[in-house]
Amino acid sequence: KKIVGMVNYGLLPLDLLDCAKRKVAEFADMFTLLVCKVKLATFHKFHLDIPKEVTFLTKVSQKPLTQVQKEFLFPVLDEFNAAGVMQDILAHEVK
């Protein structure tokens, strides 16, 4: 019940709201998983066959995040950092 109450459902018609709450309740165990519980899959190998002579653009052509996007994304990134899933690097360290 706590997970169902923590989810922000937005503006939904009552029938869809009930459906959404039932789905969240059904999969509550999935919602309670923490990022720090993610385990490294050592059995899977992923490889891109990129020729060595290929060069890529190094300029980032991306629009700045909006305030709403920042408010959502930054806490998620902080959680990833705290869990050791990723770490921040400075722009000049990017290769």
How many angstroms separate the CA atoms of 50 and 48, rounded? 6
pLDDT of residue 34: 59
Per domain, the residue ranges of the chain are 2-93
- Among the listed residues 80, 87, 88, the one whose alpha carbon sits nearest the alpha carbon of residue 34: 80
How many angstroms separate the CA atoms of 8 and 24, rounded? 11
- Among the listed residues 88, 76, 86, the one whose alpha carbon sits nearest the alpha carbon of residue 34: 76
Mean pLDDT, residues 46-72 = 87
**pLDDT level of residue 72 (50, 70, 90 thresholds):** very high
- Among the listed residues 65, 61, 88, the one whose alpha carbon sits nearest the alpha carbon of residue 77: 88
Mean pLDDT, residues 24-42 = 69
